[in-house]
Amino acid sequence: MPDWPTAAAFLPEERSLESLRAAAAECRGCPLWEPATQTVFSRGEASARLVLIGEQPGDQEDRQGKPFVGPAGKVLVRALDEATIDRSDVYVTNAVKHFTFTVRGQRRIHVTPGAAEIVACRPWLRAELELLKPRLVVLLGATAAKTVYGNGFRVTRERGIVMDWPVAGGPRAMATIHPSAVLRADDQDVAFAGLVTDLRIAAKELA
């Protein structure tokens, strides 16, 4: 694993969501910042009780500077509405804050971030959660779940189960599929229904 400095060196001394977002824009904690258009930090208010953590920004997120604004984001919005979760009570972010991709012709194709990038970016996620103190964290997909629970975690086996945080004093958490998995599924209706079912469990936890 490369000896990158990690994001820890770039965190501000005085912490607020605004200061974290501003500092993250200058992060050089791993090599992903250089090919990416910009840092994609988060959306949501400090009062949010539900935090959704995805993998990384995609092509549209990289261009617009906001998480979950591309096709997967539209799926997520529909699923939250179906699960009757108030979107104003939701904070969305990613385990990795820069778009990881390879160029194929005129297209930028998503590449799963490696362990070095996930570890390097983890201080941002930790700082966000320390500020937010959410009631529940929903981990969207394998990368987000493994960032919190380690490489042995399997979303297919543990999805929809509300669990304790791996460190004492942390929030409750639950894993489900990433909305992009709905778009890739052979039967999108079934995959979407499963995502909604899991989010309804989250809604009951919030209630």
Residue 48 neighbours by CB distance under 10 Å:
20
Structure confidence by residue, pLDDT tens digits, 73-98: 999 999 999 999 999 999 999 999 99
Is the separation of the CB atoms in 41 and 95 below 8 Å?
A: no
Q: What is the C-alpha separation between 201 and 30, in angstroms, rounded?
A: 35
So what's the pLDDT on residue 4?
60
Three-class DSSP labels, the chain:
CCCCCCHHHHCCCCCCHHHHHHHHCCCCCCHHHCCCCCCCCEECCCCCCEEEEECCCCHHHHHHCCCCCCHHHHHHHHHHHHCCCCHHHEEEEECCCCCCEEEECCEEEECCCCHHHHHHHHHHHHHHHHHHCCCEEEEECHHHHHHHHCCCCCHHHHCCCCECCCCCCCCEEEEECCHHHHHHCCCHHHHHHHHHHHHHHHHHHHC
**Residue 3 above 70 pLDDT?**
no
- Superfamily of the domain at 7-206: Uracil-DNA glycosylase-like domain (3.40.470.10)
Percent of the chain with pLDDT over 90: 94
Average pLDDT value for residue range 63-76: 96
Determine the Cα angle at 94 with ends 132 and 156, to 5°: 105
Percent of the chain with pLDDT over 70: 98
Structure confidence by residue, pLDDT tens digits, 142-155: 999 999 999 999 99
Determine the Cα angle at 38 with ends 40 and 104, to 5°: 100
**Residue 62 above 80 pLDDT?**
yes
So what's the pLDDT on residue 168?
86
**Residue 5 above 80 pLDDT?**
no
Structure confidence by residue, pLDDT tens digits, 177-205: 999 999 999 999 999 999 999 999 999 99
So what's the pLDDT on residue 1?
41
Q: What is the C-alpha separation between 16 and 132, in angstroms, rounded?
A: 9
Q: What is the C-alpha separation between 192 and 10, in angstroms, rounded?
A: 38
Q: What is the C-alpha separation between 115 and 151, in angstroms, rounded?
A: 10
Question: Which two three-digit tokens encode residue 172?
Answer: 């409750």
Average pLDDT value for residue range 19-43: 96
